[in-house]
C-alpha cells in the first residue's frame, strides 16, 4: 500500500493549472499515476501541425525511477520505434529525480525537433535518415498528415 506522494499531486496540479504550451497531460480518473498526454509537433520540424498522443506512467519508485512514456500515435522518427518506445537518455541512464513530468515531456518535444539518427531505436528509420535526410523528413511529414492530424482539421 502506498499513497500518492505529494510530489505527484503537486506536479499534476501544476500541469493542469499552468500547462506547458503545446503539451497536455491529464491523469486517468482510476489511476492517478497514469496520464494521457498530447504533444504538438514542433514548428519547422517534419512533425509540425501534428498532435501526438502518448501515455505516461509514474512507477512506484518515481521519482527515484524515470516515468515510463510511449507514443500511441504512429510516428516516423529514428529514436521512436514501431511500438512507440522512445530512446531518450533522460528516460533511461540519465534520469534524475530533479526532473519532472513536464521536463520529460519537453525533452520529448525537443527530440521531435532534433532527431538523433546516430543513437537509433528504430534502425530502419535511422538508416533512411542518414542515407537521405530530405526523403526521410518528407516521409515523417507524410506520416504526420496521415496519423497525427489535429482533430479540428477532420
Using an 8 Å Cβ cutoff, are 86 and 69 in contact? yes
Please state the closest distance from residue 43 (CB atom) to another protein, in A: 26
Q: Per the structure block, which three cell numbers stand in for 100?
A: 519532472
Nearest CA-CA partner of 95 in 123, 58, 126, 121: 58
Q: Which residues form the interface with another protein (CB under 8 A)?
A: 1-7, 10-11, 31-34, 55, 57, 59, 63-66, 68, 70, 72, 74, 82-85, 93, 95-98
CA atoms within 13 A on the CB side of 61: 6
87 counts as catalytic = yes
Question: Which residue number, 64 or 151, has a Cβ lying nearer to another protein?
Answer: 64
Question: Which residue number, 22 or 84, has a Cβ lying nearer to another protein?
Answer: 84
Please state the closest distance from residue 137 (CB atom) to another protein, in A: 21
Q: How far is Cα 138 from Cα 119, in angstroms, rounded to an integer?
A: 21
Question: Which residue number, 85 or 137, has a Cβ lying nearer to another protein?
Answer: 85
Please state the closest distance from residue 125 (CB atom) to another protein, in A: 13
Residues in CB range of 69: below 8 A, 6 or more apart: 37, 54, 55, 56, 57, 86, 91, 104, 105, 108
Task: Considering the candidates 25, 37, 87, 88, report the single residue annotated as catalytic.
Answer: 87
Known catalytic residues? 87
Amino acid at each position: 500500500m502506498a499513497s500518492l506522494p505529494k510530489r505527484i499531486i503537486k506536479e499534476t496540479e501544476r500541469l493542469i493549472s499552468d500547462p506547458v504550451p503545446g503539451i497536455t497531460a491529464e491523469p486517468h480518473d482510476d489511476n492517478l499515476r497514469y496520464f494521457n498526454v498530447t504533444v504538438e509537433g514542433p514548428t519547422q520540424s517534419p512533425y509540425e501541425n501534428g498532435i501526438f498522443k502518448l501515455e505516461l506512467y509514474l512507477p512506484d519508485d518515481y521519482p527515484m525511477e524515470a516515468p515510463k512514456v510511449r507514443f500511441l500515435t504512429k510516428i516516423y522518427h529514428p529514436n521512436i520505434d514501431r511500438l512507440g518506445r522512445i530512446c531518450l537518455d533522460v528516460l533511461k541512464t540519465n534520469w534524475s529525480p530533479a526532473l519532472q513530468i513536464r521536463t520529460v515531456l519537453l525533452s520529448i518535444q525537443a527530440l521531435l525537433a532534433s532527431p538523433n539518427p546516430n543513437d537509433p531505436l528504430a534502425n530502419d528509420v535511422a538508416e533512411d535518415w542518414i542515407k537521405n535526410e530530405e526523403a526521410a523528413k518528407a516521409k515523417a511529414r507524410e506520416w504526420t498528415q496521415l496519423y497525427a492530424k489535429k482533430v479540428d482539421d477532420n
